[in-house]
Amino acid sequence: MTKPKGPDLHLNVSGMCCPVPLIRLAASVKTMAVGQVVEVIGNDPLFETSVRHFCQANNHALLEVAPGEGHGVRMRIGVGGEE
């Protein structure tokens, strides 16, 4: 098992409210290839739940969830394919 590499893309959606974090994340994921990793930071109360649902609905892998600054949450997502 190799050491996990750094994320291919950082996305900060702190201060944005539902559904904007989800929209930003979806727009970023659309531009990425399968297997790439995106790290997203947000502090919306619904942020963690909506990213979990997003991963569940689109077959992305939720690699890591860690507390960020303040109420924030840092989540790392492995982009999955629809096929």
Partner 1 sequence: MTAPAKRKKGTILLVSGELDKAILAFEIAAGFQAMGMEMSMWFVLYGTNCLRKPRSRFSPAKWLAKLRGGPGRRPETDIALQHLVSGLNHTGATHLPLSQLNFAGIGPVLFRHILRRKGMAQLEDLIVFARDLGVRFTICQICVDAMGFTVPDDLVVEAEVNGVSAYYLEVTDADYTITL
The secondary structure of residue 3, as a DSSP letter, is P
27 in contact with partner 1 (CB under 8 A): yes
CB 75 within 8 A of CB 43: no
Q: In this structure, what token pair is assigned to residue 57?
A: 């609905």
| 83 interacts with partner 1 by CB under 8 A | yes
User: CB–CB of 79/37 below 8 Å?
Assistant: yes
> Is 77 one of the binding residues for partner 1 (CB under 8 A)?
no
By beta-carbon proximity to partner 1, the closer residue of 3 and 32 is: 32
Question: What are the structure tokens assigned to 40, written together?
Answer: 């997203």
Binds partner 1 by CB under 8 A, chosen from 11, 42, 54, 72: 54
Name the site residues for partner 1 (rule: CB under 8 A). 15-20, 22-23, 25-27, 53-54, 56-59, 81-83
